[in-house]
Amino acid sequence: MNKKWTEQALQELYETDRAAFEKLASENEDARFYQLLFTTLPQLETAEVPATLAESVLNRLEVKEAKSNRRQAIGLALLLGLLVLAGLGLVLALAPQVLVALGGLTPYLALMGSSVVVFFGIEWLDQRVVWRQWEEG
């Protein structure tokens, strides 16, 4: 006697007993179409992974980490600057006579200022060159 197969039972048979399912497919129309479906599905075209995916991820990771390092470096520089200023403030508050001694440095202030500007200018240019290499590369 022919058993009446429900859709669910057919799918379950495919998952649990492939051989019995194959056999059934030769005599049951629904099973035959399920068989066609199940054999065709793995043959469908899959999306092709771009060959450069791993390299793109690694490049982005490098840039991300470099940016994070840069932010850390800027934060550290700012902290150091604040500490120096705080130290100076403390010295001036506790020993005002130091201010008089520092007054002797006044003629050199322009030289010191321009040295600092030149130093940061060179640093900035260097960073720009490095960043361009990262981005192009």
Under the rule (CB under 8 A), what is the footprint of another protein?
7-8, 11, 29-30, 33-34, 36-38, 40-47, 49-50, 53-54, 56-58, 60-61, 64
Cβ nearer to another protein, comparing 59 with 131 = 59
Return left, alpha or beta for 95; rule: phi > 0 is left, psi -120 to 50 is alpha, else beta.
Answer: beta
Cβ nearer to another protein, comparing 65 with 126 = 65
Cβ nearer to another protein, comparing 41 with 93 = 41
Task: State the minimum distance, in angstroms, from the CB of residue 17 to another protein.
Answer: 17
Cβ nearer to another protein, comparing 69 with 115 = 69
Q: Are 11 and 34 in contact (CB under 8 A)?
A: yes
Task: State the minimum distance, in angstroms, from the CB of residue 48 to another protein.
Answer: 8
E-only strand ranges, the chain? none
Q: What is d(CA 33, CA 31) in angstroms, rounded to the nearest whole number?
A: 5
Q: What is d(CA 46, CA 55) in angstroms, rounded to the nearest whole number?
A: 21
Cα three-residue angle 6-10-13, rounded to 5 degrees:
135
Task: State the minimum distance, in angstroms, from the CB of residue 30 to another protein.
Answer: 7
